């Protein structure tokens, strides 16, 4: 009974936090939606490092740039695991693979390192640069879509990032958003996120004895198992299809080329290979699209920013559509992108890390296996870091010439632009790709179109978000019109030129020159032995 009564209590040497109740600790204070607002309030009250006691588990929340640097970056060998999530990892394949198949939620260890190395082969800076022709073509289809169906702008932004990622992952374009394979995959993913977010899932994480209950008493677990079966089949199916094409020599360059090499040398199942590929698709597509929806919202709410941005583009590019070579001459556009990432971050509370050993910080104990949250929103909205933080003001970044990775590596954390991409060893590997996709989209959309609030509708509310681990603005109407007939013609002409490069199935007739066929290096023999 004594031990049970200790559950939910905060030991005195832990970081401070809101008062707890026996057994549940702070569980009753975690809001079901818009958690970032409450987490920001607690940061103001309890400081840069605070703790929440959630039943049997501890959550440490880092709400200052310095704390993120000191722990997630400098002690990354301790802080790069992920918390155990029963529904996402244990139910989804832990009986086969420790920690489950999902790379994004995988615990730190050899299997994660292997996936990380395979991703690196396609996401490193050299490989990333060679994907610009893919980004260019998808971008031009997106601009043409905005011309034809401006009301469906969110769909066009999503297709843009999906199609880029399906090419990088599997080698095929996705020229339509209603591609049934993609629809099934994303339906399943959203259902899974929902199931992960249920109270039943939280209780199973926090009170492990409940896991002994039979399935009929745990409908959330039963449903998660069904979803996992469907998902595994989808991921494996997509992988097997490319694997067969690799064998008969018809596959296009993609992550799967390296994945097949890695499978030969490192020996893992087709299920795991399917997840490594499928997880890249999930990591790379919705995220970029969410940031672009945030950008459109900012343009409706801050017309003076839009005007300034267009003046810069007109000055530098005139009648010609911007391209990647213009990047360093369009500093205001670069600043707009950084400001979008700060002002409307889709990973609004990061993706939780976990610490693998007891540690100490600022005189407090950080216990082993704590969930460690990067409180992105509180840091982005800290008036000490950013004056008038709720205002969208690209001027804050006018003298910041870094790209995302350079900024993330700043020695002085107060100089880091934002924390959208996370920190430490789990930091986003797709930053080089995301930077380019964002630059092409933002500069060209502003070059070609005017963005205005839809007549008869109130301006969108930036606080209205679609909830989840990754948030984005709730859909809002917008009026998107070409800036002139000349701009509209140019958009059509560019897309017509691109279409000539595609076959009747809207796939590339010939792969653009310089695509990375394979850069994967098998691990050194000693390292392999450990695996
Ligand atoms: C603006 C767009 C993007 C955002 C906001 C974003 C955000 C994130 C975040 C927050 C993380 C986890 C960081 C952490 O744990 O501290 C992450 C990891 C990752 N992202 Fe991105 N990402 C974006 C684009 C991309 C793209 C385009 C790709 C690839 C095509 C990609 C691939 C990955 C991968 C492979 C990981 C590592 C997963 C792991 O080690 O657990 N991301 N991203």
Query: What is the 3-state secondary structure of 53-87?
Result: EECCEEEEEECCHHHHHHHHHCCCCCCCECCCCHH
CA 526 to chain centre: 33
Per-residue confidence (pLDDT) for residue 98, from 0 to 100: 56
Per-residue confidence (pLDDT) for residue 526, from 0 to 100: 42
Helix (H) and strand (E) counts for the chain?
A: 19, 10
Question: What is the per-residue DSSP string for 189-229?
Answer: HHHHHHHHTSHHHHHHHH-GGGGGS-GGG-HHHHHHHHHHH
How does residue 512 score in pLDDT terms, banded at 50, 70 and 90? confident
Per-residue confidence (pLDDT) for residue 270, from 0 to 100: 94
Backbone angles phi, psi at 516, to 5 degrees: -75, 115
Question: 374 C-alpha to center of ligand 1: Å?
Answer: 14
End-to-end CA distance of the chain: 43
Residue 148 predicted with pLDDT over 50: yes
DSSP element (H, E) containing 260: helix 255-266
| Burial (CB count <10 Å: 0-12, 13-18, 19+), residue 122 | buried
Per-residue confidence (pLDDT) for residue 99, from 0 to 100: 60
Nearest CA residue ID for atom 41, ligand 1: 104
For ligand 1, whether the C-beta of 347 sits within 6 Å is yes
Best mutation site among 419, 421, 439, 471 for ligand 1, i.e. most ligand atoms within 8 A of its Cβ?
421
- What's the token pair of residue 475? 């859909």
For ligand 1, whether the C-beta of 346 sits within 6 Å is yes
Residue 96 predicted with pLDDT over 60: no
Mean pLDDT across the stretch 179-194?
A: 80
Mean pLDDT across the stretch 503-507?
A: 94
Per-residue confidence (pLDDT) for residue 518, from 0 to 100: 65
Residue 171 predicted with pLDDT over 50: yes
For the chain, what is the domain count?
A: 1
Interacting residues of 51 by C-beta distance below 8 A, sequence separation 6+ = 10, 14, 15, 16, 17, 58, 59, 60, 61, 364, 370
Least confident segment among 87-96, 184-193, 258-267: 87-96
Per-residue confidence (pLDDT) for residue 524, from 0 to 100: 63
Nearest CA residue ID for atom 17, ligand 1: 428
Sign of torsion over alpha carbons 195, 200, 205, 211: negative
Q: Of 77, 73, 83, 71, whose CA–CA distance to 107 is shortest?
A: 83
For ligand 1, whether the C-beta of 421 sits within 6 Å is yes
For ligand 1, whether the C-beta of 118 sits within 6 Å is no
- What's the token pair of residue 437? 């996709």
Interacting residues of 529 by C-beta distance below 8 A, sequence separation 6+ = none
Per-residue confidence (pLDDT) for residue 1, from 0 to 100: 67
Best mutation site among 277, 287, 288, 416 for ligand 1, i.e. most ligand atoms within 8 A of its Cβ?
287
Residue 141 predicted with pLDDT over 50: yes
Domain containing 231 equals 2-530
What digits encode the pLDDT tens for the residues 103-116? 998 899 888 999 99
DSSP element (H, E) containing 385: none
What digits encode the pLDDT tens for the residues 275-329? 999 999 989 988 999 999 999 999 999 999 999 999 999 999 999 999 999 999 9
Residue 491 predicted with pLDDT over 90: yes
For ligand 1, whether the C-beta of 342 sits within 6 Å is no
Per-residue confidence (pLDDT) for residue 43, from 0 to 100: 98
Question: 285 C-alpha to center of ligand 1: Å?
Answer: 10
Per-residue confidence (pLDDT) for residue 402, from 0 to 100: 97
Residue 527 predicted with pLDDT over 60: no
Q: Of 50, 76, 78, whose CA–CA distance to 63 is shortest?
A: 50
For ligand 1, whether the C-beta of 434 sits within 6 Å is yes
For ligand 1, whether the C-beta of 284 sits within 6 Å is yes
What length is written for the chain? Answer: 531
User: How many Cα atoms sit within 13 Å of 518 on the Cβ side?
Assistant: 13
Is ipTM strictly over 0.95? yes
Per-residue confidence (pLDDT) for residue 529, from 0 to 100: 44
Neighbour tally for 488: CB within 10 Å: 17
CB 433 within 8 A of CB 128: yes
Per-residue confidence (pLDDT) for residue 436, from 0 to 100: 97
For ligand 1, whether the C-beta of 150 sits within 6 Å is no
Question: 427 C-alpha to center of ligand 1: Å?
Answer: 7
For ligand 1, whether the C-beta of 254 sits within 6 Å is no
What digits encode the pLDDT tens for the residues 215-274? 888 888 888 888 888 888 999 999 999 999 999 988 888 899 989 999 998 888 999 999
CATH number at residue 107: 1.10.630.10
CB 444 within 8 A of CB 139: yes
What digits encode the pLDDT tens for the residues 378-411? 999 999 999 999 999 999 999 999 999 999 999 9
Mean pLDDT across the stretch 153-159?
A: 94
What digits encode the pLDDT tens for the residues 445-479? 999 999 999 999 999 999 999 888 889 999 999 99
Least confident segment among 34-38, 338-342, 478-482: 34-38
Mean pLDDT across the stretch 64-73?
A: 98
CB 291 within 8 A of CB 340: yes
Higher-pLDDT residue of 183 and 433 is 433
DSSP state, residue 143: H
Q: How far apart (Å, rounded) are the C-alpha atoms in residues 453 and 442? A: 18
Residue 516 predicted with pLDDT over 80: no
Per-residue confidence (pLDDT) for residue 470, from 0 to 100: 87
Nearest CA residue ID for atom 11, ligand 1: 428
Residue 530 predicted with pLDDT over 50: no
């Amino acid at each position: 009974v004594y031990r049970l009564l200790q559950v939910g209590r905060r030991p005195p040497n832990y970081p401070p936090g809101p008062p707890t109740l026996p057994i549940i600790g702070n569980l009753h204070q975690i809001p079901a939606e818009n958690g970032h607002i409450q987490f920001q309030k607690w940061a103001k009250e309890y400081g840069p490092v605070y703790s929440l006691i959630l039943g049997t588990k501890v959550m440490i929340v880092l709400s200052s740039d310095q704390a993120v640097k000191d722990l997630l970056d400098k002690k990354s060998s301790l802080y790069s695991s992920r918390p155990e999530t029963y529904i996402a990892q244990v139910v989804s394949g832990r009986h086969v693979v420790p920690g489950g198949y999902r790379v994004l939620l995988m615990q730190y260890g050899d299997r994660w390192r292997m996936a990380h190395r395979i991703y690196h082969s396609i996401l490193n800076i050299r490989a990333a640069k060679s994907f610009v022709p893919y980004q260019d073509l998808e971008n031009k289809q997106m601009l043409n879509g905005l011309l034809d169906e401006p009301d469906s702008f969110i769909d066009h932004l999503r297709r843009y990032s999906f199609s880029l990622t399906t090419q990088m992952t599997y080698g095929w374009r996705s020229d339509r958003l209603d591609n049934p394979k993609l629809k099934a995959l994303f339906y399943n993913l959203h259902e899974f996120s929902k199931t992960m977010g249920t109270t039943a899932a939280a209780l199973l994480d926090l009170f492990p004895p409940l896991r002994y209950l039979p399935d009929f008493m745990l409908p959330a677990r039963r449903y998660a198992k069904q979803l996992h079966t469907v998902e595994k089949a989808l991921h494996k199916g997509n992988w097997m299809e490319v694997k067969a094409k690799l064998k008969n020599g018809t596959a296009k360059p993609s992550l799967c080329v390296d994945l097949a090499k890695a499978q030969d040398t490192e020996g893992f199942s087709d299920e795991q290979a399917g997840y490594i590929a499928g997880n890249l698709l999930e990591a790379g597509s919705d995220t970029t699209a969410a940031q672009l929806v945030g950008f459109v919202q900012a343009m409706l709410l801050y017309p003076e920013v839009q005007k300034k941005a267009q003046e810069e583009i007109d000055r530098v590019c005139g009648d010609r559509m911007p391209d990647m070579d213009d990047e360093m001459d369009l500093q205001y556009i670069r600043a707009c992108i950084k400001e979008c990432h700060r002002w409307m971050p889709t990973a609004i509370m990061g993706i939780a890390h976990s610490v693998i050993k007891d540690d100490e910080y600022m005189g407090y104990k950080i216990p082993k296996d704590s969930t460690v949250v990067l409180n992105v929103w509180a840091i982005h909205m800290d008036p000490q870091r950013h004056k008038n933080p709720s205002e969208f003001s690209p001027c804050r970044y006018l003298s910041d010439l870094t790209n995302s990775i350079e900024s993330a590596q700043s020695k002085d954390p107060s100089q880091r632009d934002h924390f959208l991409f996370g920190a430490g060893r789990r930091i986003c590997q797709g930053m080089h790709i995301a930077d380019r996709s964002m630059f092409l989209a933002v500069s060209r959309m502003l070059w070609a179109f005017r963005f205005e609030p839809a007549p008869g509708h109130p301006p969108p509310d930036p606080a209205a978000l679609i909830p989840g681990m990754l948030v984005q603005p709730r859909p809002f109407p917008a009026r998107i019109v070409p800036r002139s007939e000349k701009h509209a013609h140019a958009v059509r002409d560019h897309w017509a030129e691109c279409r000539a490069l595609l076959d009747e199935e809207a796939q590339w007739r010939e792969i653009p020159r310089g695509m990375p066929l394979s850069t994967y290096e098998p691990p050194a023999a000693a390292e392999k032995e450990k695996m």
